[in-house]
Amino acid sequence: MSAKAKAKGPIEGSAEVVVDHILLKSAHFERKNTRLIHELSNAQHPRYIAVGCSDSRVPIEDIFGAKLGESFTIRVAGTVLDIPEIGSIEYGVEHLGVGLILFIAHTNCGAVSAAQEVLKKESKDRRAKVPIKTPLDKTIKDIYENIKANPRNAHDLHSAIMDNANAEIRKLLSRSKVVRDAVKNGVLVVRLGVYETSTGALRFVK
């Protein structure tokens, strides 16, 4: 632990250690990628838009083996899209000319699991509802709406995860004329993949 970290309280000191470690890693990244950083300094030309969950076990760029500048990445809990995420995707399609969206779901998703618990409670008590008190509650409610039509989703997490992912892709196509028109005109492809958190395997299902 650095002297600066020791001089602080336990929480601040721990944060200082983490920040110091990140800065060391960042310096190594800078040295390793000096030429590529310089080449990309004025413009970006990503090969694909990657849309995935915030889960720390699903680092999309690492899973894809992506180099700096290859992935235009949007990550959000439960892969639930709202205005900022859809706007980011539209920027990638319309302004960066990206022709491929890779939508990545993953196993053992905590956000989908939370929505599944609500579905289980509702199957026992029709009065059970998702309380909306925080932004996280809103995310879980959105996932719940995506999975509630399929009775299987109350007990099959994988089924719920796939229904949620497919619903979010439909939402994207429904809400974004930019994305919808690009797909219709044959200049954009949307693929859905599933990452297995217990094995590290990635497969594409559509």
Residue 142 known to be catalytic:
no
Segments of 44-201 assigned E as strands: 48-52, 71-75, 100-106, 189-195
Distance of CA 160 to CAs 84, 87, 156, Å?
A: 24, 26, 6
Residue 158 known to be catalytic:
no
What does 57-82 look like in DSSP terms, one character per residue? Answer: T--HHHHHTPPTTTEEEEE-GGG---
Catalytic annotation, pick one of 47, 57, 175, 180: 57
Catalytic annotation, pick one of 21, 47, 75, 106: 106
Residue 55 known to be catalytic:
yes
Contact (Cβ atoms closer than 8 angstroms) between residue 118 and residue 144: yes
Residue positions annotated with a catalytic role: 53, 55, 57, 106, 109
